Amino acid sequence: MKHRLERVNEVIRRELSEIVPREVVFSAPLVTIQSADISPDLKSCKIWVSVIGNEEQKKEVITRLLDKRKHLQHLLMKRVVLKYTPQLHFEIDHALERGDRIMQILDEIEIPPDDQE
């Protein structure tokens, strides 16, 4: 069952990655569907969205996705046949920001030179 859910998640992510850019216009420079996490009963699905932009643009992306949720669900279910049409829940994925912050911290760390010669 776990592998089936992983396959369903990947299909939903891939299809929404094609649907969202055609159906929703954003002010943010880049909006990407990072992953999908469908519930075991297939009735709800959390969609993780990565946004390159400021906080206001991130809020606007989530607002527009929620406004278009029913339409996006309808288009998704035309392309993905499941027993139920899952209700989509959109969340900002902060993984890229965390990764950038970790890289920034690593760059700031001063590593003493190796004295072994």
The domain that contains 38 carries what CATH number? Answer: 3.30.300.20
- Choose among 56, 71, 59: nearest CA to 20: 71
pLDDT mean over 18-47: 94
Is the confidence at residue 44, as pLDDT, over 80?
yes
How many folded domains does the chain comprise? 1
pLDDT mean over 24-38: 92
- Examine residue 117 and state whether it is found in any structural domain, yes or no: no
Say which residues have a Cβ less than 8 Å from residue 111's Cβ, sequence separation at least 6: none
Structural domain including 69 reads: 2-108
Say which residues have a Cβ less than 8 Å from residue 6's Cβ, sequence separation at least 6: none
Is the confidence at residue 116, as pLDDT, over 70?
no
Taking only the tens place, the pLDDT of each residue in 53-110 is: 899 999 999 999 999 999 999 999 999 988 888 999 999 998 776 777 777 787 778 7
pLDDT given at position 84 = 87
